[in-house]
Amino acid sequence: MKRLWMGVRKRLRGAGELLAKIWAHRQGKVGLIMVTLLVLVAIFAPYIAPYNPYDVSQRTTKGLPPSWQHPLGTTINTGQDIFSMLVYGTRVSLIVGVTSGVCIAIVGSILGVAAGYLGGAVDTLIMRIVDIMLVIPTLPLVIVLTNVLGRDFWIIILIFVALGWTGLARTIRSLVLVLKNTNYVKAAELAGASRWHIMIRHILPGTSHLVIMSTALSSAGIMVAEAGLSFLGLGDPTAISWGKMLAEAQSGGALLFGAWWWIFAPGLGIFLAVFGFMRVGLVLEEIANPRMKRTSSVYKLFRSLDSSYVEEVFRSMDDYQRIGVEGVSSGGGQSRGTGLEA
């Protein structure tokens, strides 16, 4: 029990240090605040939403513009409060995005580690499956699977996971091919450790930074994908999501009747969620690979933009302008001379 508690404390300490590193970064701080606010809104949605978003009997409040009573207005056809729909839609979008991102990270990392370390037939089988999955057109396959399996958002999560693990598995495999030749892995093999023990205790932790970064970026991408599916009418019909709100706004004639607030609210929610997760994912990538920023050509360029560099640029511009003026003057003189001689 004591050993288990020490392991939990070590994991919590590592998570705290990671959050501190993200918070120390300016972009990471912005992304972390936005993601935290979204999570709080999703958890306390019943206490934040002033109305029941599933109540479609408010016929007297149809098409109301934003006001103190309805901060984001109401829908044209059913009179539902759009702010309440936006709050409850946060739950579905976060559940689908984060759950799919975590499951993709788990499946992709396990299969990538297995393919990279075990090699042989296992590597060949997994990589051929990856090659096949990467060339299959995703959207038509998703449309077919949702029509066959159903449109419950748990089914949608399953489809996203089944189609989204391939890219991460290939990336993890490339990293494992390097890690399995390191000294600590060779020492574990000489000590008699089993393959599964080495994969789980030694190689998999070495890929954790890539897995965490991929989870954040995948969650953002899947939120957009879920909104797109719901907009096409392929989402869960019993749940309110931001994509479904956009689909209802389009079918209800929001643009035709000038109900801009009906389109603006879910669009803003999608933008904030994706922007927050992308900020966190990019900062995690920079934390996991500090050399990425230092080796960037843009970073080197800005590092070299001191006062002497700027003075040199303007000096070269002056020299170029002087040479151009002299060339034009000499060319004009020659032409005038030729004309007089003629």
Whole-number pLDDT of residue 295: 47
Instruction: Assign 103 a pLDDT band (cuts: 50, 70, 90).
Output: very high
Considering 59-73, 106-120, 179-193, the range whose residues carry the highest mean pLDDT is 106-120
pLDDT tens, 160-199?
Answer: 898 888 888 988 898 888 888 888 888 888 888 888 888 8
* Mean pLDDT rounded to a whole number for the chain: 78
Name, of 44-48, 290-294, 300-304, the range with top average pLDDT: 44-48
Exposure b/e, 154-178, CB count within 10 A at least 16 = b: eebbebbbbbbbbbbbbbbbebbee
Instruction: Read off the pTM.
Output: 0.74
| Element spanning 152, H or E | none
| Dist. CA 299–CA 307, nearest whole Å | 17
| List of residues 6+ apart from 247 with CB closer than 8 A | 230, 231, 232, 233, 235
**Nearest to residue 149, comparing CAs of 160, 165, 136?**
160
- Give residue-wise pLDDT tens across range 193-220: 888 888 888 888 888 778 888 888 888 8
Cβ contacts of residue 310 below 8 Å, gap of 6+?
Answer: none
DSSP classification of residue 126: H
Phi-psi region of 75 (alpha: psi -120 to 50; beta: other; left: phi over 0): beta
Whether 301 shows a pLDDT value over 50: the answer reads no
- pLDDT tens-digit series, residues 121-140: 888 999 999 988 888 888 88
Q: Which is nearest to 78 in space by CA: 224, 244, 264, 267?
A: 244
Neighbours of 83 (CB within 10 A): 21
